[in-house]
Structure 1
Amino acid sequence: MAGQEVKLLGAWFSPFVHRVEWVLKLKGIQYEFVEEDLNNKSPLLVNYNPVHKSVPVLVHHGNPIAESLVIIEYIDDTWKQNPIMPQDPYERARARFWGKFVEEKFTEVVRGTITLEGEQQEKEVKQAREALDVLEGELTGKKFFGGDTTGFLDIVLGWIAIWLGVIEEIACIKVFDSSKYPFIGKWMENFAELPMVKENLPARDKLVLYFHKIRQFGLASAAKK
């Protein structure tokens, strides 16, 4: 039986931290949340994640695990209730493939638009839409990517339920079109209504203010180069 001495080092605005929280809540795991100031990183964070010095970091019985996708799999392997990864090796491999696809072809691309303008930004938006084209096909006819219940890919992509709209507003772009991606649109509604998600989303107005500062800082830094 896995012990319950669980601590999560995170930041309220991070979708990667929220991924981990969703899984912890889905499995009913009690944990202590430690809010980090990433402009003034604590010795605890630096000690537990000396390579990247970033959140999230899960600490279980004093052992730190970093990077959200790695943490999610660790949680799923350690606490067997409400599994999010398939048991079949082939299906597990497919889940990891799609998780990597989302991270590289969509999440990182959309994040990049915050501090870009003009042709560079348009190029990233085009790439993000191309990724959505692929994901729409993968979701067709299903309630969740995991089928009737929430799975690994749902957790990985779940950040778009609130963060994508905020980024679109701040970066003055349009990535998601509900008429073009009806299955993803319905999936977003279903995902946002899950208790573990609905009860654990940051306030949108706070996110807008936070990402506005990120954009202004990024554009100012780019102008100095």
Structure 2
Amino acid sequence: MAANQEDVKLLGAVASPFVFRVQLALKLKGVEYTFVAQDLKNKSEELLKFNPVHKKVPVLVHNEKPINESLVIVEYIDEAWKSYPILPSHPYQRAVARFWAKFIDDKVVNSSRRAAFTVDKEEREKNAKEAVEALQVLENELKGKFFGGEELGFVDIAASFIAYWIPLIQEVAGLQWFSSEQFPKLYNWSQEFLNHPIVKEDLPPRDPLFALLKARYESIHASN
């Protein structure tokens, strides 16, 4: 059955870096979809129906069939809609792209969030160190304009957290582990990424996102 552009829904939250991955993949493919905003403090019946296991966003619903987990969804989108290939065509290169996307989630996203939003000082420092080490690995891996070459690809989509969310988290938490001086190639990549016309269309507005992160940071630290 051919992919049906007219029956695509994305259950998401505007501030989520994982939801943004899916939005970007859909935009790169030119897929029309309906965005259904979710209140994660008061989860809708629709969200619980379509993601009963994790009960979180994003959820892509295509012809009433739900797909969960951001990177899984991006792969699904790449297979369901053939315009603008997101993953490489060669099996080895596809496997490598999946490896780096998982590395970004495991070593950069998780460590960065814990470094900013963990109260214990020792744990914060440990995670900040791990995030810096992971960014250095990515700095060494980056060979071209984007991770996927001259065009945005799977790893770039996974790394959107680095380009947009890490600078905000650093500012909120008064930390510094991603800078142009320390990671010149990765920083230049982040600027190319943020200035890409399709990326700019769907980035969450900076000020509300910053306020949300700051409120979360202050709430966590005020309670301890």
- State if a TM-score over 0.5 links the two structures: yes
Q: Structure 1: 5+ residue runs without aligned partners?
A: none
Q: Structure 2: 5+ residue runs without aligned partners?
A: none
Query: CA separation in 1, counterparts of 2:34 and 2:114?
Result: 31
- Most deviating of 204-213 and 25-34: 204-213
Q: Output aligned runs, 1:123-138, within 5 Å.
A: 123-138=126-141
Query: CA separation in 2, counterparts of 1:37 and 1:99?
Result: 27
- Most deviating of 64-73 and 197-206: 197-206
- Most deviating of 44-53 and 159-168: 159-168
1:75 aligned residue? 77
Secondary structure of 1:180's counterpart equals: coil
Q: Output aligned runs, 1:153-164, within 5 Å.
A: 153-164=155-166
Following superposition, the deviation at residue 213 of structure 1 comes to 1.9
RMSD: 1.1
**Length-normalised TM-score, structure 1:** 0.95
Q: Deviations over 1:17-56 (max 9, x none)?
A: 0110001000100000000000111000011000111000
1:179 equivalent to 2:177? Answer no
Following superposition, the deviation at residue 207 of structure 1 comes to 1.0
- Most deviating of 6-15 and 110-119: 110-119
Q: Output aligned runs, 1:23-172, within 5 Å.
A: 23-117=25-119, 118-140=121-143, 142-172=144-174
Given that 1:114 and 1:214 are in contact with CA atoms closer than 8 Å, whether structure 2 keeps it comes out as: no
Structure 1 stretches of at least 4 aligned residues deviating more than 3 Å after TM superposition = none
Following superposition, the deviation at residue 220 of structure 1 comes to 4.5
**Length-normalised TM-score, structure 2:** 0.95
Question: Structure 2: which amino acid aligns with 1:125?
Answer: A
Given that 1:2 and 1:78 are in contact with CA atoms closer than 8 Å, whether structure 2 keeps it comes out as: yes
